[in-house]
């Protein structure tokens, strides 16, 4: 039995709900019968991601920064804290904001959940493992993170968020959980957000060279967004404190990914190798034993099928592909 909706929510607050994953969470919760309040300052989220949500019964949007106390019309019974710049292009552009969202934002989201007696779920990330020396990565691994490197604003914001969430549960008894989300892709990604899938798809559809960093042998484990959302909601419903990895354990090299995107788009693009970013992880692959055992969850969408759906969505965007 899939546990994703074995627990019924009346009112969920999704911080960062205008973002890529957050907007898909809002949709899934509404489809399951919950009222949803999306809290987002639109610093990286997009109004277009809410186009299918506005006007739906039970949906409300509050434009606000989570770095200030969060105010909603009625107490929630679920708080999903997904507010944060998540792509390299965003967190490198907004370094202090990223750190504040992970610290002040997490504190304020926890305060809302505690005051309401709500279940709280923190969106952490595989980036807490840094450039891992353990492969694949399980939840007991402490990671290999450069605390002052260019990626540190995101990595350390999430690591702090995990520590604060754990302290809140221990000190005040708040019902909390932590999910470590691995590389997720799908519709509603931005073409210029700096992550591999949207970058490669945008370049291939435009007939531009696909820019593969380094020699392309570094790996990622790509999880289609629908699978990720199922895993997140399963963790929320289960009550597991975590952290728990939510990701696809099937690895792919960046060079293999680029070639697959070219094949699936029918593009004539070539591949161009460019400099690899500082502290770019060499490998990334989740051990999802805990998610399988406790949540009865595992991904079901193959890379080829997920990429086909993503490419189709990008084609439909037309002139909006780079927005």
Q: From first to last of its 323 residues, what are the pLDDT tens digits of the chain?
A: 344 456 789 999 999 999 999 999 999 999 999 999 999 999 999 999 999 999 899 999 999 999 999 999 999 999 999 999 998 889 999 999 999 999 999 999 999 999 999 999 999 999 999 999 999 999 999 999 999 998 999 999 999 999 999 999 999 999 999 999 999 999 999 999 889 999 999 999 999 999 999 999 999 999 999 999 999 999 999 999 989 999 999 999 999 999 999 999 999 999 999 998 887 888 889 999 999 999 999 999 999 999 999 999 999 987 444 44
Question: Could you give the angle at which helices 196-206 and 254-265 cross, rounded to 10 degrees?
Answer: 40
Catalytic sites, residue numbers: 154
Residue 184 neighbours by CB under 8 Å, 6+ apart: 20, 21, 222, 223, 224, 225, 228, 247
**What pLDDT is recorded for position 296?**
96
**What pLDDT is recorded for position 1?**
38
Going from the N-terminus, what domains does the chain have, and what CATH number goes with each?
Answer: 11-316 (3.40.50.720)
**What pLDDT is recorded for position 67?**
97
- Select from 246, 220, 239 the least CA-distant residue to 298: 246
**What pLDDT is recorded for position 6?**
60
Question: How many Å separate Cα 210 from the centre of its chain?
Answer: 24
Q: Are 249 and 285 in contact, with CB atoms under 8 Å apart?
A: yes
């Amino acid at each position: 039995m899939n546990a994703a909706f074995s627990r019924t929510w009346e009112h969920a607050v999704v911080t960062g709900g205008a973002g890529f994953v957050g907007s898909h969470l809002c949709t899934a919760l509404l489809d399951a019968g919950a009222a949803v309040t999306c809290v987002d300052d639109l610093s990286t989220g997009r109004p277009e991601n809410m186009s299918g949500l506005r006007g739906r019964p039970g949906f409300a949007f509050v434009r606000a920064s989570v770095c200030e106390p969060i105010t909603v019309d009625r107490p929630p019974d679920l708080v999903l804290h997904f507010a944060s710049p998540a792509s390299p292009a965003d967190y490198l552009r907004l370094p202090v904001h990223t750190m504040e969202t992970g610290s002040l934002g997490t504190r304020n989201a926890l305060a809302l959940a505690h005051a309401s007696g709500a279940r709280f779920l923190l969106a952490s990330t595989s980036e807490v493992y840094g450039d891992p020396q353990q492969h694949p990565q399980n939840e007991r691994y402490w990671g290999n993170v450069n605390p002052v490197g260019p990626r540190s604003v995101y990595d350390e914001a999430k690591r702090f968020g995990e520590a604060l969430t754990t302290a809140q549960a221990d000190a005040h008894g708040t019902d909390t959980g932590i999910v470590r989300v691995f590389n997720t892709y799908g519709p509603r990604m931005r073409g210029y957000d700096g992550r591999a899938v949207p970058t490669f798809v945008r370049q291939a559809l435009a007939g531009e060279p696909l820019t593969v960093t380094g020699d392309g042998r570094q790996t990622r484990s790509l999880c289609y967004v629908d699978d990720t959302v199922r895993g997140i909601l399963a963790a929320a419903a289960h009550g597991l404190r975590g952290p728990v990895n939510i990701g696809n354990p099937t690895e792919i090299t960046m060079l293999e990914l680029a070639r697959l995107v070219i094949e699936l788009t029918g593009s004539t693009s070539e591949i161009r190798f460019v400099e690899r970013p500082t502290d770019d992880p060499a490998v990334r692959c989740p051990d999802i034993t805990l998610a399988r055992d406790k949540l009865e969850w595992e991904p079901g969408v193959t890379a080829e099928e997920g990429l086909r759906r993503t490419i189709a969505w990008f084609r439909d965007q037309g002139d909006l592909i780079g927005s």
